[in-house]
Amino acid sequence: MMSGVSSRKRKHEPLSPQAIEMVAARFRILGEPLRIRLLQELQGGELTVSELVAAIGSTQPNVSKHLRILQEAGFIGRRQDGNLVYCFIEDPSVFELCDAVCTSVGQRLTQHARLATELHRGIGRR
């Protein structure tokens, strides 16, 4: 259900099925926790693949696979310096999306915590 704040925003024209699929594909890319962790690590600046492997605690092939997916989606860029590959954020708007989701999740958890407190008080009265 949409909140009152969302309903006051200007309405957009409906998207075509092709546009909807493109948006859904972008969300699917961010649906993998390891990719979000990689983006989070890169938020502080560019890192080598080896530094990312160490920070994430995964294998080099696994990290490289997810970095490739993020690069193909345009979220990150890569540059080579000798035999080192550096990764960096190519599309910083991804953090605006992550911030919006984190805010929404935080609000939802706060609401649940309030309800849990209320229910707990109700149980104690019996």
Q: What pLDDT does 125 receive?
A: 59
| Mean pLDDT for back-to-back runs of 10 residues, the chain (126 residues) | 51 90 92 96 96 96 97 96 96 89 85 85 67
Q: What pLDDT does 121 receive?
A: 83
Q: What pLDDT does 117 receive?
A: 86
- The three state secondary structure string of the chain is CCCHHHHHCCCCCCCCHHHHHHHHHHHHHCCCHHHHHHHHHHCCCCEEHHHHHHHHCCCHHHHHHHHHHHHHCCCEEEEEECCEEEEEECCCHHHHHHHHHHHHHHHHHHHHHHHHHHHHHHHHCC
pTM value is 0.76
Q: What pLDDT does 4 receive?
A: 45
Q: What pLDDT does 124 receive?
A: 61
